[in-house]
Chain A
Amino acid sequence: MLRHLLIEVERLDFIRCENLTHIYNQGMENEYKALDNVSLSIKEGEFVTILGTNGSGKSTLAKHFNALLQPASGKCFVGGRDTSDEKLLWDIRQQIGMVFQNPDNQIIAAIVEDDVAFGPENIGMKPSLIKEHVASALAAVDMEDYRSFAPHLLSGGQKQRIAIAGAIAMNPQCLVLDEPTAMLDPQGRLEVMSTVKQLNHDHSITIINITHFMDEAALADRVIVMDKGKVVKEGTPREIFSDAISMKRMGLDVPVVAEVAFRLKDRGENIPEGIMTTEELVNALCQ
């Protein structure tokens, strides 16, 4: 019975970190602790946003999910697999698709469809199967019409969607996006976020989005806030943004509406907790 329950728990937690610590340049003068005893879990099919300022350790954490980095101490499990086990390395990387910040520096081939095929080719998929995967990955990000384009002719948002297609062509269960919109214009940011939202919704891919844009964080099921290598807060976007003071203390903003609500409340207006959309604020003010 207990064993059964344990298996059940493992199925639900897709990623689990236990006291994960990462130290850059260990043993050297410029030793730097980027992750400090981080414990967290991410469930299958969840949409999680990790928030934090520069140097809070969020990108380091993301690299642990894909076994690009190894823990100095503690453990990180992906789908029940230990990331420090070298034999499981390629399994883990196939399970977790990664998208990085700079769209230019993660596209490998000079033609869109060749680039999307790069991952499947690496894991030794059959050519006929690769073609299917490439076609469906391009369809999922709505870029089918650009399959024979050269990447440098695309916009930033389009390039980033190609990078997403390249990641999901390997059929991963989870997509880790490391500040995917940081270098994009507002239009590109919208494109990428709606693609990500759709993948989570229609293809039930677990999403971990690392960002410092609060509007993106508001889309998530759950927000994890990191500061100085530690997880400092965890909760729904509503819970997180209602505490504007501690967010500001960490150098993070809250969405404009939440900020307005917070200040009004501070001035003694009667406004309920956890306002996140313009509509809610209007309703609260015009009761």
Chain B
Amino acid sequence: MLTEMTLGQFMPGASLLHRMDPRVKIILLFLYVVAIFLMDGHGSYALMTAVTLGLILMSGLSVIMILKSVRPIMWIILFTFIIHLFSTPGEEIAKILAFTMTWEGLDRGFLISLRLILLITASSLLMYTTSPLALTDALEDILKPLKKVGFPAHELAMMMTIALRFIPTLIEETDKIMKAQQCRGTDFSSGSLIRRAKMLVPILVPLFISAFRRADDLAIAMEARCYRGGTGRTRMKRLKVGKLDYYCIACFAVLLSGLAALTYLGI
């Protein structure tokens, strides 16, 4: 049951988005998010919505699946929408108790909700098209300049790599421990919430002990294989910014200037 879990949201594929350099993807996404926050006006929103939809179609993933990633924050979106609907002054649509719904509020609420949806879909598009390993490598590379001010970029990336490697192992182990406890009559599925929370103790204690033991073994194995931190270390797979990435960066620049023009013209 537990072993069937997949890691992250990565969906393998060969689309343009899959083939882009992960560093370029992360940086472009960052700029994209900033642009979404800065833009104003219906024209800009229409353009960004069209671009985001275009990207989803280009990724070859199902639109419904991507839209599903909005579900966890659906209530927040709804809440924001309602707040805006009632709190913006303007032409009245209807009155409920002491609150007034306005046309301006409807417009604002709609745009803000759209902004949130665009944010989520764009970032989940990154998660869907980039493997966790590529993400880790990209983050290490992007954060490398911060090493000068003492930021542990390599260590962080190594931790993420090891975590990714050991998550399936630990899940398997949890499964084993649960089965062992069930064999001895432990019942995990009934009782009050507090009782069930208490049942976690006999799972977590052995799991932690074994995780520490593994960590100890792993440290020795890493040392035996000449690991001495990030200094002097090379990488087999180097990330390369290719032609494709330059095209994407160019397209993105055009998009940004389009947005700037629309905002300037106030459309």
List residues of chain A with CB under 8 Å of any chain B CB. Answer: 63, 66, 68, 90, 93-94, 98, 100, 102, 104-111, 113-114, 117-127, 130-131, 134, 150-152, 166-167, 170
Contact = CB atoms under 8 A, between A and B. Distances in A.
Contacts of B165: 107-110, 151
B161 A106 contact: no
B162 interface: yes
B172 A121 contact: no
Interface in B154-179: 161-162, 164-165, 168-169, 172
Interface in B129-152: 132-133
Interface in B202-240: 213-214, 217-218, 220-228, 232-238
Chain B CB count within 10 A is highest, among A110, A123, A125, for: A110
B235 A121 contact: yes
B232 A124 contact: yes
B222 A108 contact: yes
Interface of B: 132-133, 161-162, 164-165, 168-169, 172, 213-214, 217-218, 220-228, 232-238
A120 B236 CA distance: 9
Contact of B168 (A98, A117, A152): A152
Given A93-B225, A114-B133, A105 B217 contact: yes
Nearest to B161: A109
B4 to A, nearest CB: 13
Given A117-B236, A122-B233, A152-B169, A90 B161 contact: no
Contacts of A66: 224
A122 B228 contact: yes
A225 B213 CA distance: 28
A124 B234 contact: yes
A108 B221 contact: yes
A1 B227 CA distance: 41
Contacts of B217: 100, 102, 105-106
A104 B214 contact: yes
A130 B221 contact: no
Given A108-B222, A109-B165, 17 more contacts: A68-B220, A98-B221, A98-B225, A105-B218, A108-B161, A108-B218, A108-B221, A110-B161, A110-B164, A125-B234, A127-B235, A131-B236, A150-B168, A151-B165, A152-B172, A166-B225, A170-B226
B7 to A, nearest CB: 8
Contacts of A166: 225
Given A68-B224, A106-B221, A114-B133, A121 B164 contact: no
A143 to B, nearest CB: 16
11 contacts: A90-B228, A93-B226, A100-B224, A102-B214, A110-B133, A111-B133, A119-B226, A122-B227, A124-B233, A127-B234, A152-B169
